[in-house]
Structure 1
């Protein structure tokens, strides 16, 4: 990048980022800034330490302050249209076996004994939205679904905690859709007109051989879904970026052809399919209503966003569909498995001790 753009040499990373945003928006393109990772690395899994809004190195306050900083930095650029505050919230399996599980609308320490800590993504997302509005009160805020951005199951029952209901018009919920998510679309495709939903990632490396891809394209076309293809880049890791992997790593999902490792040629069938998908829908409204004016109150919304949701409130609030029951059952199963493992360990220790004393 620096070789091709010598005017960037000597600038800080933040200044280079500014130049990139300016270059994109000066071409008339819109920018949505995404808090993708704390560390510079490929995303995502449960052991990378980057699945939540805090890590061992960065606190929740660091995350919130960063959101406010960026929102304020670009508030005068009208083509920076939104802030996606956290990419793919997901479990964090720490060294030693402890697992931190994000849940929408629930935080509890009751499972700490069994090696599970449950943290509330709803509360964190509410605080993250408020942090963005402190920097830019009229910004749009994107909230990704839980569990690798695959699940918005509880959002309709437990919306963001805001003091001003009018701010909900500035919230967009986001999902990722890939073949390995199987039937995840059932959890986000309900059309209740509560809030806009954006499929901010989908992609594939196949076409005719992929039933998932063909069905997804038909579904997006039929519903006039909003989407982003992931990714543009032909490489996951550029050449020379990682000393342990000097040749880099190709991304077969890339819109640009990974075989050429550059930005000169695209994968033709991907581009053509996306162009076809962009055709205007006959069901698109001729006019879109403008939300009423809403003056952001930072103090009131900070107080509302910081409120914790108790277990009883969670259970009484959610609508028990089949999918709600399924996610809850998976959670209970994880707890039972950990209990069985702990009991087995205790039994083994007791047996060994009795054997030692009797010997």
Structure 2
């Protein structure tokens, strides 16, 4: 038996051994627009990061700088339970038997080869699919799920509209070879149980996009995938860089089984140039309206039981531009409101080779350039609410709300005596509800303002309808400002502490040119039925 075949057999056997004792209940399925464990019906929320493995080396990035075990440990340290591990079609159709070493030598990446030899020497003699499987197995041992994303056909950086990988019929995107690649991949992934989903194609784009080809080819590939591997979820993206699924309103996808169908979408701050030159309230409202119109509608469309997976969103974590920060705060409210599954772009701090540059940096990555620390130490605090499951179709608990402050990532909590309120961690932060013009906590205490700018907000057991000090209304284009009794004062985070105060409302009118920063006054009632 060839050495490569023996290694593959060992991987599959080890995978089966791990599967017998793993704590997750695989496979996954769909119920009531949620991803759930098929056996228990319990919600499984995907909270992921993208880990590219689709570029010219066809190997998960970063293995020239850190051991695989260290990288996987770091993924868990971010609070993530999933990675979207990308792959190119040609890895299965043209390079199935080629080793990592051969590819590195072909690309003349001597420095990268030496790094992999130092940190992960065993990978060099693996074929590309074997290396992919080995990474998946290591993720399995850390209870991390994998979305296997067909990112491109030809291994390279993605994406340009004219790069040959954009749509069916492009120079590197032959539909028959693509279906063949999915058939081989689905069969190969069958014994890797933590590959819970296959994303059929990343960011369709370019002048050849058309509805007829989308339906024909997506249905054909889905049939092949499900035949080879009936356990995996199948994730479908739309047009224009995964930003548009509106064609589904006219013609349902009609892929069986429907309890394996998920839709995905992407969003980035540079898609809307107005974040830096128009009111953040109006831009946020526009962005969320566009998301709802173009992709979010699947969550309310009766023709689909499918969830929505925001499988890419991210920003420059080095520059941290104010416009990007405003985008992120707005995006967090979109994700939190319906507890949407999500995946940050990206995990990687560098690439082996990107657009001709060896060891190229990635400013969007959670890992730093050396993969030994993070560029975003605030990640777990900022994302703490989204790292939790907020809505579960199997829960018997009644719904209440969390009063969320997305700029900080914190939640509004009262002290033990129900006097002062402040921002704190989001554990046990539910119990808020809106009843008319009252914002109530645990049904019997109301949010109040003392009526003067800069004074702290409080909670009180006096919730009488005639009490105007406890009258509040969500206002502004974004709908995220909580104004007190039409006074022009809004709930706000104190600049020097975690206490909440009332201050003059920022940019809540119709002046779209108001460029003051309103984020400290953005609050959201997020529904939850998870205790």
Q: 2:364 aligns with which of 253, 275, 282?
A: 253
Aligned-partner Cα distance in 1 for 2:241–2:166: 8
C-alpha offsets along residues 23-76 of structure 1, whole Å, 9 cap, x if unaligned? Answer: 112221101101101222211111111112454255211110111111111212
Q: Indicate yes or no: 2:100 matched with 1:7.
A: no
Q: Indicate yes or no: 2:155 matched with 1:46.
A: no
What does residue 295 of structure 1 align with? none
Asked if the contact 1:34/1:83 (under 8 Å) is kept, the reply is yes
Q: Indicate yes or no: 2:210 matched with 1:103.
A: yes
What does residue 220 of structure 1 align with? 335
Structure with the largest fraction of helix: 1
What does residue 265 of structure 1 align with? 374
Aligned-partner Cα distance in 2 for 1:160–1:141: 12
Aligned-partner Cα distance in 2 for 1:231–1:7: 25
TM-score under structure 2 length normalisation = 0.45
Q: Indicate yes or no: 2:301 matched with 1:211.
A: no
What does residue 29 of structure 1 align with? 144
Q: How does 1:296-335 map to 2 (within 5 A)?
A: none
Structure 1's 175 and 79: CA in aligned 2 closer, same or farther, altered over 3 A? same
Aligned-partner Cα distance in 1 for 2:230–2:192: 14
What does residue 180 of structure 1 align with? 270
Aligned-partner Cα distance in 1 for 2:355–2:243: 33
Q: 1:63 aligns with which of 153, 160, 178?
A: 178
Q: 1:176: Cα distance to partner?
A: 0.4
Aligned-partner Cα distance in 2 for 1:243–1:284: 43
Asked if the contact 2:165/2:172 (under 8 Å) is kept, the reply is no
Name the count of aligned residue pairs. Answer: 256
Asked if the contact 1:89/1:148 (under 8 Å) is kept, the reply is yes
Q: Indicate yes or no: 2:247 matched with 1:154.
A: yes
Structure 1's 23 and 130: CA in aligned 2 closer, same or farther, altered over 3 A? same
Quick check: which has more Rg, 1 or 2?
Answer: 2
Q: How does 1:77-96 map to 2 (within 5 A)?
A: 77-91=192-206
Aligned-partner Cα distance in 1 for 2:139–2:309: 21
Measured on the aligned residues, the alpha-carbon RMSD in Å equals: 2.2
Structure 1's 242 and 265: CA in aligned 2 closer, same or farther, altered over 3 A? closer
Q: 1:125 aligns with which of 191, 195, 218?
A: 218
Structure 2 residue runs of 5 or longer lacking an equivalent are 1-62, 64-115, 273-286, 397-531
Asked if the contact 2:136/2:194 (under 8 Å) is kept, the reply is no
Aligned-partner Cα distance in 1 for 2:164–2:354: 18
Asked if the contact 2:154/2:172 (under 8 Å) is kept, the reply is no
Q: 1:284 aligns with which of 392, 407, 411?
A: 392
What does residue 349 of structure 2 align with? 234
What does residue 20 of structure 1 align with? 135
Aligned-partner Cα distance in 1 for 2:347–2:132: 18
What does residue 328 of structure 1 align with? none
Structure 1's 208 and 285: CA in aligned 2 closer, same or farther, altered over 3 A? farther
Structure 1's 263 and 123: CA in aligned 2 closer, same or farther, altered over 3 A? farther
Structure 1's 128 and 175: CA in aligned 2 closer, same or farther, altered over 3 A? same
Structure 1's 287 and 70: CA in aligned 2 closer, same or farther, altered over 3 A? farther
C-alpha offsets along residues 248-300 of structure 1, whole Å, 9 cap, x if unaligned? Answer: 3322111112xx4324334112343223321331x433349xxxxxxxxxxxx
Aligned-partner Cα distance in 1 for 2:258–2:184: 22
Aligned-partner Cα distance in 2 for 1:28–1:77: 13
Asked if the contact 1:54/1:63 (under 8 Å) is kept, the reply is no
Structure 1 residue runs of 5 or longer lacking an equivalent are 92-98, 107-119, 289-359
Asked if the contact 2:167/2:205 (under 8 Å) is kept, the reply is yes
What does residue 198 of structure 1 align with? 309
Aligned-partner Cα distance in 2 for 1:223–1:50: 33
Q: 1:207: Cα distance to partner?
A: 6.7
TM-score under structure 1 length normalisation = 0.66
Aligned-partner Cα distance in 2 for 1:137–1:242: 35
Aligned-partner Cα distance in 2 for 1:53–1:31: 25
Asked if the contact 2:199/2:236 (under 8 Å) is kept, the reply is yes
Aligned-partner Cα distance in 2 for 1:244–1:278: 36
Q: Indicate yes or no: 2:296 matched with 1:189.
A: yes
Aligned-partner Cα distance in 1 for 2:355–2:330: 40
Structure 1's 244 and 79: CA in aligned 2 closer, same or farther, altered over 3 A? closer
Asked if the contact 2:165/2:171 (under 8 Å) is kept, the reply is no
